[in-house]
A and B are shown apart, each in its own frame.
Chain A
Amino acid sequence: MSFLNHLINGISLGSVYAIIALGYTMVYGIAKMLNFAHGDVIMVGAYVCFFASSSFGLPPILGVILAMVVCTVLGVVIERLAYKPLRQATSLAVLITAIGMSYFLQNAAQLLWTSNPKIFPTFFSFGGQTGVSLFDGGLNISYAALVTIIVCIVIMVALTLFTSKTKMGKAMRACSEDKAAAQLMGINVNTTISMTFAIGSCLAAVAGVLLCSAYPTLQPTTGSMPGIKAFTAAVFGGIGSIPGALVGGLLLGIIEILAKAYISTQLSDAIVFAVLIIVLLVKPAGLLGKMIREKV
């Protein structure tokens, strides 16, 4: 029974990673850049939701929507100000700019909201209960975990439909294949890239709220470690691929929780990264990534 408990916790954590990884993978697929500031957008989203519900007394759902709006705007503004001028620059220059942006967000958050940890409120409780208990307490599932898993599934289905059915989704896929050709077909590449950042950041806000519902301490650095792990998850599943982000995120979450439970708490991160290394050695483009053969 305890294994099942750990498995559910792992899937729930993995769902959060998957949602964050989507942001990384979509941006990488289209703009070919590692957006290191993504983890800090998560943190901003969580803070916005926290203040909306604790200071202004808004109901949780409004808080989440507000966080999504703020993060979407933030993501687009970051893209316009910091990344768009560097469209032609080397990927390393864009990487450093993204790191600068990450420092900026973290330090701005520290100035605005101090580094004292905030305790995130429990959103997911029904009738005073925070979870359901099955088999005489043998299996405890928190509502937060359930909601996280459901939200993740909804987002995955919606995003898959979006990229395959809508015009904008098709434009995104076209841009990730070949930007110049997409432009010739009448696709506005800049708008498409902005749209990608908007979707990624909007998802980051959702992920921030879900993450803080499961691990309720909120600090300016809250987003950085989940950010790195979600990035690993994106690479794990094959960066640039949306199903890959789901698979990578879920596997990473499950491995992390199981390693914590059965092997060692201190070494769980090391085990996660070791598995990543092994996977990349066997499949150098990730689990679901496309292998591109270099031609001479």
Chain B
Amino acid sequence: MKRLNISRNTRSNFATYAMVIIVFLVLQILGQGGMLSSTLKGQLVPICAYVVMALSLNLTVGVLGELSLGHAGFMSVGAFAGTVAAVSLQASIPSAGVRLLVALIVGAACAALAGFLIGIPVLRLNGDYLAIVTLAFGEIIKSIVNNLYIGMDGGGLHARFLNNTMTLGEGGRMILNGPMGIPGITKISTFTAGFLLILVALFIIFNLVNSRSGRAIMAVRDNRIAAESVGISITKYKMMAFVISAALAGAAGALFAQGQTTVIATKFDFNTSILILVFVVLGGLGRMWGSIIAAAALTILPEALRQFSEYRMLVYAIVLILVMLATNNPQIRGFFTRLSKWIKDLLLLRFRAARKLAGETDQKGGGEQ
């Protein structure tokens, strides 16, 4: 048979789509059959949100090659913008699905705008300095949202900063209440919506990476000076990747917030940024399927470690260190490569033996016909 001429990249991309779709279908069927525990069911939307966050950060860290330590800031912008949109449109858009879609789009748009504004100063820097500035912006966003008050009445939305001095008109209500966050959110995020968002994120990232722009972005990552010398505009392509990454993070934030009853600004702090970075690094830089698996596994892991009760976060930390040592130490890594090669050889031998056997029977069968 003539083999289809599909590049390895494309095959890996399709495998990633397939993996996501299959896992979704399996979980859906299990959910219909009532075989999922209630804790796992409650975790499905956050898992989807974290998967999208990991994909989006992988675009910045893996594809663009710049370390961002403040990615939770964009998640925060998306979460609050999206939720304000969803809450204020509750009356005018009765359909939950449409409202969620509007929330996701508003969240993504606001985060993209924030990404653009932050990107102007940030992308002039390099390496560790860029990382520390993203950390600084993450903390600044947290402080700003923590002191922002948004209320709504017949005259539209009103916002105050630092002190809540607004007097709302008839039937008015506070939406965002400074450090108290947004309480009483109607949960409109569903697992299906999260799944679709993951697919959209994958679609955007894969198409970007395989496009002319994507190759330019990776050229900037691999050698900035060489890329510049062949006429690639560094600022433009860095900004493109950064803004897309921020927009995806914003959508993830909006999805996450619509699955919670309350969101507060301090949820999206430095620790959340780090958590997402851990997903990306453990999953492998630039490997989208790795990010998906790592984000899902590490979100479930603390729940799965419930039996260790108070030791679970300690175990989590130890597992994290051991995994990093195992995957990055040359000696241990060499051991694993040898082990996997040995297993592969063993399987290959069996496979060859089986094929040989099958071939012989085939020939026999052919001869009889």
Q: Residues of B contacting A97 with CB < 8 Å? A: 320-321, 324-325, 328
B200-252: which residues lie under 8 A (CB-CB) from chain A?
224-225, 229
Pair A111/B311 contact, Cβ less than 8 Å: yes
Question: What's the Cα separation between A110 and B313 when bound, in Å?
Answer: 10
* A108 interface hit (Cβ, 8 Å): yes
Name which of A34, A82, A96 has the most chain B CB atoms within 10 A of its CB. Answer: A96
> Which among B126, B132, B317, B331 is the interface contact of A100 at CB below 8 angstroms?
B317
Pair A273/B140 contact, Cβ less than 8 Å: yes
Name the interface size band of chain A.
35 or more
Name the interface size band of chain B.
35 or more
Name which of B67, B129, B278, B330 has the most chain A CB atoms within 10 A of its CB. Answer: B129
Pair A284/B129 contact, Cβ less than 8 Å: yes
* A150 interface hit (Cβ, 8 Å): no
Binds A, one of B95-103, B141-149, B190-198, B348-356: B141-149
* B329 interface hit (Cβ, 8 Å): yes
Pair A107/B314 contact, Cβ less than 8 Å: yes
Pair B328/A104 contact, Cβ less than 8 Å: no
* A99 interface hit (Cβ, 8 Å): yes
Total contacts A-B at CB 8 Å: 122
Q: Which residue of A lies closest to B324 (CB)?
A: A97
Question: What's the Cα separation between A231 and B146 when bound, in Å?
Answer: 23
Question: What's the Cα separation between A110 and B121 when bound, in Å?
Answer: 39
> Which among A104, A281, A294 is the interface contact of B314 at CB below 8 angstroms?
A104
* A261 interface hit (Cβ, 8 Å): no
* B17 interface hit (Cβ, 8 Å): no
Chain A interface mostly: helix
Could you mark each residue 91-122 of chain A with 1 if its beta carbon is under 8 Å from any beta carbon of chain B, else 0?
01101110111011001101100000000000
* A125 interface hit (Cβ, 8 Å): no
* B185 interface hit (Cβ, 8 Å): no
Pair B324/A273 contact, Cβ less than 8 Å: no
* B270 interface hit (Cβ, 8 Å): yes
Q: Residues of A contacting B135 with CB < 8 Å? A: 228, 232, 273
Pair B147/A101 contact, Cβ less than 8 Å: no
* B303 interface hit (Cβ, 8 Å): no
Q: Residues of B contacting A231 with CB < 8 Å? A: 132
Question: What's the Cα separation between A270 and B277 when bound, in Å?
Answer: 22
How distant is B177 from chain A, measured CB to nearest CB, in Å?
14
* A274 interface hit (Cβ, 8 Å): yes
* A18 interface hit (Cβ, 8 Å): no
Q: Which residue of B lies closest to A86 (CB)?
A: B328
Pair A96/B320 contact, Cβ less than 8 Å: yes
How distant is A94 from chain B, measured CB to nearest CB, in Å?
8
Question: What's the Cα separation between A266 and B147 when bound, in Å?
Answer: 8
- 15 new A-B contacts at CB < 8 Å, known A97-B325, A228-B135: A86-B325, A93-B328, A97-B321, A100-B317, A101-B317, A107-B316, A108-B314, A235-B129, A235-B132, A270-B143, A273-B139, A273-B140, A276-B133, A280-B132, A284-B129
A-B residue pairs, 4 tightest by C-beta: A270-B143, A273-B136, A104-B317, A100-B320
